[in-house]
Structure 1
Amino acid sequence: MSTIRALATGIMAGVLAVVVLIGIAAIVVPAVTGSTALTVLTSSMEPGLPPGTLVVVRPTPIDEIAPGSIMTYQLRSGEPTVVTHRVLEQHRTADGGYRFVTKGDANPAPDPGFVREVQVRGTVWYSIPLVGWVTQVVTGEVRAVVIPIAVLALSIYAVSMIVAGVRERSRERRRSAAERDLVQESSP
């Protein structure tokens, strides 16, 4: 029984560690670095960034964005809709600015038109497969319900583990005391 308990505790500790690490990578790191976490919603960047992938996009100096970079940009300047595609070409404009030709890895042709500097939001720093689906589901009103339930469930689990540990220690002390009493009674 103690082997099963140890195994279950190890598995739960591992799951908790993974959840904490994903939370740090998806929430804390972007917040601290001024990056943005976004979810890939389409299959245009498969197989590297399939739908449901969480991408963390960090601000990148325009002159550092080169062909091969995966860039996130606004479809139309000033509007919230963004796309994350690979840069195929970088062009200098007459006024010293930049414009880019982009293409989704799974798309047969480049995106229409050029991406102007003002549209660029940054480049993909790192990605976490499947985590984007969770962030899509847990938004707005759902988040207001799910987060408190998750906190309550984890708190109940933590308290139950503490209580189980205290009970186990108490049993061990009683066993040790009973064994000492038996040894003392059988000693001459």
Structure 2
Amino acid sequence: MSGRRKAEATASPLSIIGTGISYIALCLAALAALTLVVIPMVTGSQTYSVLTSSMAPKYAPGTFLVVKPVPFEELKVGDIITYQIESGSPTVITHRITSVSAEQSGEIVFITKGDNNDVVDELPVREVQVKGKLFYAVPYVGFIANGLGNSDRGAMAQWGAVALMGYGVISLVRGALAKKRDDDAAAEGSTGDTPDPDGDDFVFPGVDGAAAETDVDHSDPVLADCDDCDHHEPRGYREDHGRQVGSRMHATV
């Protein structure tokens, strides 16, 4: 018996495109969760949204800002800081430090200015006002944060992280199941056997599932004269009008 392997089924272009889109979406979801939620939570950073054009065009309205707390003495000219307009006030401004000066009392203060503004900010910035230094920014995401509002932003960020991670898990499971189905289909296609097309062999299944071949002789028996034997007369022997017709024949193989 000759075995033949069936051709493995190839994936359709639509299936390949769908798989690629799923993996891209998974990567984007993981990147969004990491950038917008995980890193700010791990580093103790605070998130803000740009509302004005004072730092345009690089930090245009709608930009999502992640501000990380740093020691006041480590800040220097050129750093972008987020500070309270008044100490204890929830309203903040994100501008660049243009110079460092000292008050008559010896207190160190910063002079700040928006990149898109023509003049420096009216009042110097003291240590108690500073919330942190700009860690990184994500364009356009701030519009979503603005729509959520300041009071709901923290809770929505946590739920957003859970949703993104859940989507990632579901995508991984679906991808694994689809791959398993493809592997099973390929395995079934590779184990099929085709009977012998010549039809010369008689195949009997063996104990272990293999096939055993048996040769059978289909040749006719040879007839030989048997005048002296005492076998029973063959069926072709008869008497007709007292005369013998035919002869006693003994079939030997």
Counterpart for residue 81 of structure 2: 71
**Alignment-derived partner of residue 172 in structure 1:** 186
Cα-to-partner distance string for 1:96-152 (whole Å, 9 max, x where unaligned):
3221221111122222222221111111121122222333345639949x8587777
Q: Secondary structure at the match of 2:193?
A: helix
Could you list the runs of 5+ residues in structure 1 that have no partner in the other structure? none
Q: Number of residues paired by the alignment?
A: 184
CA contact (8 A) 2:83 2:129 kept: yes
Q: Is the 8 A contact 1:91 1:99 kept in 2?
A: yes
Q: 1:61 to 1:136 in 2, by over 3 A?
A: same
Secondary structure, counterpart of 2:97 in structure 1: strand
Partner of 2:91: 81
| Higher relative contact order structure (alpha carbons within 8 Å, sequence separation ≥ 6) | 2
Give the equivalent residue in structure 1 for 2:230.
none
CA distance in 2, matches of 1:48, 1:60: 23
1:62/1:98 contact within 8 Å kept? no
The structure where helix makes up a greater share of residues is 1
**Larger radius of gyration between Structure 1 and Structure 2:** 2
CA distance in 2, matches of 1:48, 1:5: 40
The alignment's TM-score, normalised by the length of structure 1, stands at: 0.79
Root-mean-square deviation (Å): 3.0
Return the alpha-carbon distance in structure 2 between the equivalents of residues 119 and 51 of structure 1: 23
1:115 equivalent in structure 2? 125
Identical residues among aligned pairs (%): 36
Question: CA, structure 1 residues 31+153, in 2 after alignment: closer, same or farther (shift >3 Å)?
Answer: closer
Give the structure 1 partner of residue 231 of structure 2.
Answer: none
Matching residue within 141, 144, 166 for 1:134 = 144
Does the 8 A contact of 2:33 with 2:164 survive in 1?
no
Which of 32, 36, 41 matches 2:51?
Answer: 41
Conservation of the 8 A alpha-carbon contact between 2:99 and 2:112? yes
Correspondence for 1:181: 193
Distance 1:107 1:30, change over 3 A: same
